[in-house]
Amino acid sequence: MNQLIVFLPLLIILGAFMYIASRRQRRAMQATIDLHESLQVGDRVHTTSGLEATIAGITDDTVDLEIAPGVVTTWMKLAIRDRIEEDVEDDAESAEIIETDADEPGRITKD
């Protein structure tokens, strides 16, 4: 009887850890499914191997990725890791950068 009292809390804690881990895995899987269903032609993406490309075409199981101008390869949708989101802040900052003074070529300042 004493052994049951010792092991019961351990079993409950183990069960809780397994439940939490399975919930995280389900959430991650659902996020991946949602990403793959939302892909559109023209989206910039990363593959699981680290390649950056633009989606040129989509079928049920595959995507055609343009990895360089005129170079299109076919990949499984499962190889798409994430979508590259454009940073609005970076675009605004780069528009503010101007080149000044001919005396110091290559010197760049911000206004």
Indicate the pTM of the whole model: 0.59
**65 vs 73: CA distance, rounded Å:** 5
Query: Residue 9: pLDDT above 90?
Result: no
Q: What average pLDDT score do residues 74-87 get? A: 90
**81 vs 46: CA distance, rounded Å:** 6
Q: What average pLDDT score do residues 36-45 get? A: 92
Q: Is the CA virtual torsion 42, 30, 77, 79 positive or negative? A: positive
User: Helix (H, G, I), strand (E, B), or coil: what is residue 42?
Assistant: coil
Identify the band that residue 5 occupies on the pLDDT scale cut at 50, 70 and 90: confident
Query: Residue 98: pLDDT above 90?
Result: no
- pLDDT for residue 55: 95
Query: Residue 26: pLDDT above 90?
Result: yes
